[in-house]
Structures are given as C-alpha cells and as structure tokens.
Amino acid sequence: MEKSPTHILLMEDNPGDAGLLKATLSTEKDFPCRLDISPKLSDGLQRLSREPFDAVVLDLFLPDSSGLETLNHVHQAAPQIPIVVLTGLTSPETAMDALRGGAEDFLTKDDLNGPLFAKTIRYALERHKLLKNLQEKEERYLLVAEGSNDGLWDWDLRTHKAFFSTRWKRMLGHSENEVGDDPKEWLLRIHPQDLEKVQQDLDRHFSGKDGHYANEHRLRHKSGRYLWVLSRGQATFDPAGRATRIAGSFTDFTRHRNMEQQLALRAFYDPLTGLPNRDFFMVGLERAHLRQDRKPSALFAVFFLDLDRLKFVNDHLGHRAGDRFLVEFARRLKWSVRPSDLVARMGGDEFTVLLEDLHGPQEALEAAERILESLKTPMALGEKSIPTSASIGIAYSNCGKKDADGILQAADAAMYQAKSEGKGRYAVFRS
C-alpha cells in the first residue's frame, strides 16, 4: 500500500519563498509531501482547526503577527504538531529563541533546497514523536535515536543512569564505546562557565516552574574544543509530582553561533583595520560622559585625527596600497596610546581616540606627540616609501559641551584648526 504524503502547512506571505519551497520539495521523490500555503496567521489557524496536518513550517513575520507571538499562537492552536521556523541568516538569535519557545527546528531561507527541507521536516517529525512518547518500548526508542540527526539522550532520575545516542557521541568526536551511561558523561563535558545555568534550568523544570527544559551551553569535544549546543528536554513525573525521567535532544548550532559573532563584528568593527567603528566608539564615549556626570572631577579627552596623503596613495599606487596605508596607520596609532584607550576608525581617513582616567591635560598632549612622532618614519608600501602626517584635534571632557556628540564635534573642529595651521600638528578646542 502506497504511503500517504506528509501533509505540511507552510505559513509564509512571500510568494517567491513559498513558490521556491514548493518547487524544490516537489523534486524529492523519497519524501512525498503535500504542501499547503497560508499567507496570514489567521488563515493558517483556521486551517489548523479544520484540517489534519503533520507539520507546520512557519515564517515568524506575517502580515497579521510578528516574532515569537506568531509561534505562540500556532503552538497553542496545534500543540501536537511539530513546528519548523523559517529565519533569515541575519537573525540567529531569533531562531534560538524560537527553539527555546517550542519549535522543533529552524531553516535559514538563504540555504533552502529540496534535500535540506525534506530532511529537516523528517527529523522534526521524528524528534517530536520521540519527546511526546517517552513510554514507548526501548527498541523503538533506540531505532529513532539512531536515525536522528540530533544527539538524543534519556536520563532515568531514579536509577541515575543515562542513555546517549550514537549521534550524540559522534557529535563530540567519540565512538560508541567511549561514553558510558553515567549522567556525568554530559555534565562533566559542560564548559565550567555554563554548568551552573544548566543545573538551574534543569531544577526549574523538575520543580514545575518551567514547562520544558531548554538551555544553550558549550560541550567539550574529544579534540578539546567546545561546541555550542541547544539542549532541550521534557520530564515525566510520578503521582507525587517528582520528576522520574527526562529525555531530550542536543542540536549543534556552533555554525550559527559563529555567524552571530561575525555579524556582531561587522556591526561594530571596521573590517579593514580591525578597529572599532563609529557606532562602537560612540557607545564608549557615551559611557565615559555618563561616568563623568557621576564624578565631575574625572577627566577624559577625545582625539579626532585626519590622516594626510591617503588620496595621493589611492590615486598613484592603487586602492590596495591605500588599504595597507590605513592598516599601518591604525597599527602605529594603537601603539602610540595606552592599551586601555579606545581607538576607532570613523571612516575614510578619519580616526578617533578616547583617553579616559587622565591625571591631567598634559597626559593627552603627550599621547598626541607620540602619535605625531610615530608618523615621522615614512610608510613602506612595496618598493615605495611614503611620508605622511596627521592633524589631531583634541577636546577635553570639561570643554563646555553637554553631551558626547558635542565633545566629538569639538574635537573635529579642533582638528580642522590644526590642519589650517599646517598639518602634522595638534590643536586643543577652546570654547
């Protein structure tokens, strides 16, 4: 008898994404599916109330609902159906929140293809079935565990014995016989900084404060490196309300965690020099200004620097040489100030420095002189030796400006004063 197709409800308002999913899924002959599409949450909830579906694929941002609220509505309407969330590559944190909120898995739209989509749905169905049927026979449990893409675990709290699937062991670089049945096989591999939070989340679930267990933490691989995993589980309780058993899964999201860190770097760091960018610098300047409000006697200074001859290098030696020119200047700038000082690239040939905890104005002037002295040695760009200089504007925190933007503008004005006086020098803002 031919197996009936898996009935999937896709809640997606982008016709292009919906059409792409339907087209790619139709090519998967080993995974026959029937895909129905609802462009709105309200329409999808109505269909869930009157039609049987095996799984829901959900875009969290629909015309009539957005974010985790969308997931909550679908989960409440059909708690027995596994949900796979669609997310963009730029929102890994949203995907993690969805998993913690009860979604079985997530897919990134930019990586969608037929095999990945089909595999994700299959795994979501199997994982959902496993977590909802803890009382099934051990043989069936083991079979599902072996076929799952996630690492599965089952902890008997009465006997203090644990089962870890083959996939769980392989995720951590171990063979079948290298991991025993003691729960410490998991707990002792948790990064020391994450262990307390794991134990707290387990205790909250066992005490009934949280309906399910979910925690992100680092697990030590056999090689010594750490993987970021999302650990989820559901406990069973005896008539007295005591937790007797908990089973769940581990999802390796190291790649997405790294992606999140890369996005943060792109957001706050200059990709060429590796220095903080304008946004990062302004956060630091705002904090310094707030600290001075609490302690008026504290003194800090802001440098605004304009590097000379970048246009000459770009025009005559090319932009690659110009990039090396900027990187070398950034290196010299960092070496000329204290390690605690915040050095940033504002864009183009403009840089800033925040010098906090100054003992007096002279300390900032000495730093400016060190910067100018470091530029007296020409910069080597291949076979060329390029002389350069910089104009530095200095504004102190007590310059009369009321906010961080004002102090930065004062330093900028002083920089133009230094440039008008002949470049290769500094000027201090005077109100």
Rounded CA-CA distance 109/324 in Å is 37
| Tokens encoding 152 | 């599965």
Tokens in use for 95?
């995907």
Query: pLDDT digit string (tens) for 357-392?
Result: 999 999 999 999 999 999 999 998 878 888 899 999
Residue type, 29: K
- Model pLDDT for residues 47-101, shown as the tens digit of each residue: 998 888 988 988 888 999 888 888 889 988 888 888 888 876 556 677 777 777 7
Average pLDDT on 134-149 reads: 50
Question: Is residue 320 scored above 70 in pLDDT?
Answer: yes
Q: State yes or no: pLDDT of 250 exceeds 80.
A: yes
Exposed/middle/buried for residue 137 (C-beta within 10 Å: 0-12, 13-18, 19+): exposed
Q: For strand 33-38 and strand 6-11, is the pairing parallel, antiparallel, or unpaired?
A: parallel
User: What SS3 state is found at 73?
Assistant: helix
Write out the DSSP string of 135-183: TS-HHHHHHHHHH-SSEEEEEETTTTEEEE-HHHHHHTT--GGGS-S-T
Q: Which residue has the tokens 């998991």?
A: 186
Tokens of 81: 């159906």
Q: 226-237 and 243-252: which strand pairing?
A: antiparallel
Average pLDDT of the chain, as a whole number = 85
What are the structure tokens assigned to 93, written together?
A: 């944190």
Q: How far, in Å, CA of 28 to CA of 10, rounded?
A: 17
Q: Are 393 and 411 in contact (CB under 8 A)?
A: yes
pLDDT at res. 145: 47
Helix (H), strand (E) at residue 292? helix 278-294
Write out the two tokens for 24: 């790619």
Specify the 3-state DSSP secondary structure of 274. coil
Proportion of the chain above pLDDT 90, given as a percent: 39
In tens, the pLDDT along 151-200 reads: 888 999 989 999 888 888 988 999 989 999 999 999 999 999 999 999 99
Residue 302 pLDDT greater than 60, yes or no: yes
**Cα–Cα distance for residue pair 240/33, rounded to 1 Å:** 43
The pLDDT score that the predictor gives to residue 91 is 60
Q: Going from the N-terminus, what domains does the chain have, and what CATH number goes with each? A: 6-132 (3.40.50.2300), 141-258 (3.30.450.20), 269-428 (3.30.70.270)
Give mean pLDDT, residues 240-255.
Answer: 86
pLDDT at residue 135 above 60?
A: no
Element holding 381 (H helix, E strand): strand 379-381
Mean pLDDT of 290-318: 89
Q: Which DSSP category does 13 fall into?
A: -
How many angstroms separate the CA atoms of 396 and 289, rounded? 11
Residue 145 — φ and ψ, nearest 5°?
-60, -40
Beta bridge partners of 295: none
Residue 330 belongs to what H/E stretch?
helix 319-336
